[in-house]
Structure 1
Amino acid sequence: MRSAIRRVYAVAGLLAASALVLAGCSSSDQPATQSEPTGPVTLTINVFGDNFSLPADRTLYDEYSRAHPNVTIVENRSDFGTHHQNLQARLTAGTGAADLEVIEVGQIAGYIGQPDKFVNFLGEGVDAGQWTPAIVQRASTADGKTLIGLPTDVGGLAMCYRTDLFAQAGLPTARDEVAKLWPSWSAYIDTGATFLAKAPPNVKWFDAGGHVFTGILGNDKETFYNAGGDLIVESNPAVRAAWDQTVRAIKGGQSAALPEFTPEWNTGFQQGQFATVTCPAWMMGYIKSNAAATAGKWDIARIPGGSGNWGGSYVTVPTQGKNIKAAVELAKWLTAPEQNIKIFKTIGNFPSQKSTWSMPEVADYKADFFNNAPAGKIFPESLANAPVQVVGPQSGVIGNTFADALLSVEQGTDPNTAWQNAMNDIKAAAGTG
């Protein structure tokens, strides 16, 4: 879970993934064939934010340790950017990586070219067939012979909305009727104008333009890169169209201009400063954790356009670790369907194994915090027709760049200037500027 936009999570549980991330440092170049340790072992797992962890009770970690009394699990957290930057630095140095490292879906392509630095799970008894080919492909080398990470979760896309604010503005509140308001993203923006005409004082239509931009692009296969791996941001009409639509909404006063994963964003959720938020599955946990007092005021409707995905991550095991065998076993356990289902029901991260989507525990799941919305049906429906998006080594960075550029528009920068600034930054990051 992430991915167009940074998941700089203080995210109380989501995921862009599963409860898998622990952190710390370890070194050494022991091969993945080392024997199972017989003495006490401390496994570290590095995660970004909270989005891969269950609440502070450490339910999953402690469950694993009870079954493996010799294993102690230590989770370390940092923000999205710092986490991935540190991982690359430690891989380059050959020391300092955790026993397990989580990599967000938008970042994984940047590590595929370093397969020797990660355990190949295809040689560790992993059945890659439990995930869709697209999910596996993103963490695999071009020849398909090396899988550097095990998938944790997928995002799926829906729209979370405040029923009380909708009612005050004279809009329908039942999720099926709400979904009819926005068959397309253009209609969503038009509905925003209708909402603002009668909205409560100081309430905006959505939280931040970057999330709308990400949602719009969720319906496109090629966004920042094409299938050949070429950077196509500037020439891709879909990207420019998403930008223009988002700018139209911003200029219409619809954005609360609250940067994601900031205290201000959290306050926006808590105080009802916006009525809708582009809502991947992991967002449910974020809202629930950061705005507990709003329980029952939210509901979930179909995303404009009907499909999309935002989020997901992979658990990797660096080959420099001291306890590779034990780390591999933990990675496999944390990404197993049983654990993925527990995480979904606890914090909302949607299971990555398609086989789980029809299981009663998932298919029949209703999110009580969100007015008993049938989350177990809404998110699979969104994923069913979502395109398999092409990602490249800088996809995550590019998404962050657009989020920042749109924030600058919300703060008064001319949209054309902001677009050109984004293009310059993207080219520089990609080494083409």
Structure 2
Amino acid sequence: MNDTPGWASPGSAPSDGKPDGQPSGEDHAVPRPAEPADPQDTVQDKWSKQQPPAGQWSAPGVPGQQPAPGPQQWGGPTAPPGRGPGWGGGWNAPPAAAKPGVIPLRPLGVGEILDGAVSTMRAHWRTVLGISLTVAVITEIVAILLQGLVLNSGASTAVLEDPNATASELLSATGTVMRDSGVLLLLSLLATFVVTALLTMVTSRAVLGKSVTIGEAWQDARPQVPRLLGLTFLLPLIGAGIVAVGTLPGILVAVAGSSEGGATLAVLGGLAALVVAIWLLVRFSLSSPALMLEKQTVRKSLSRSAKLVNGSWWRVFGIQLLAAILVNIVVSIIVIPFSFLAGALSGEGIGGFLEAGGDAGWTFLIITGIGSVVGSMLAFPITAGVSVLLYIDLRIRREALDLELARAAGLQQSGPGTSGPQPGS
């Protein structure tokens, strides 16, 4: 066997030829010991001319020695402490989720849901702010007209602050204030659900990394608009109906003659009914995305929302509550300066407005309405985006929607544990 460079051991005899000094002919019958060759010459003949640097290689399996650095080291220099930069660090690392759009295609955390809503607004600001501005302007015009022409909470507020008011007057004033507040709350809910419906299409495209215009969003939403209108009115009516049923016994007792007892019973019943209404509205809070994205009927969208929220009620409630708190903080930062400006320009100042019990003039209503429009332009996209992303998150957790989203985004599986671009791409 011929010597192979790099594999022959130092000092080994050649496998072909004869030792130096052996005579030819018949004298080979009694061999003589060969003269030992120079050890230095033997080593130089048997070693390959190209040898690795000292300390760079060792026999396999020798404890305490590291393999030579090279492309075979999958773990790389970022291998965890206590685990050598070999195979373990690379193979044990979990694969990163694909992120074709504003969120990674995997179960989402609270911060990722909020960040996804804000990222949608930043990435598609023309469409998002266009929809929000339109809805906010229409909503605020209606609210200003209602407050200036129909609603009159100033007198009722003054009665509630009067220590000499009778129980019947207090009950009547409370009903008036609740009615006016309920009308404005209903208007706000209508605007929120309408914006959610339109921005559902924008957010669903943003998750896939695709853009959409206002016209395209309207074309996608238009077939479901009649059902959405029914759902939009149904949800507030459910909440108001539950609260009305809870306060009805107290009202009946007050009408029968026991004013104080009836008022107490109405308040307690109203609070209990409010808890039930909040519980139901949270269960049905994802019905609008389900109706728009799954093309469901009103009844099936309510059932779909309840099914998705089941077992995750507190998580859904907590995320929506956190989003509402953040939105209210942002809106307050914007609206409060407009309120002071409106009080200064209306002639009576903000102190006069407060002392008047909320009986505002047109100047005050218009200027504060402008501030509300600016605040709503930022509040609507966050509220709508959180609702849609919560719906997507629950479907990913329960129905592996991330696989369908990856296919819809055109991601091709490029290897084990990978399905496309890495997060942040």
Band of TM-score, shorter chain: under 0.3
Structure having the higher Rg: 2
**1 or 2, which has the higher strand percentage?**
1
**1 or 2, which has the higher helix percentage?**
2
Q: TM-score, normalised by structure 2?
A: 0.22
Q: TM-score, normalised by structure 1?
A: 0.22
Larger RCO, structures 1/2 (Cα 8 Å, 6+ apart): 1
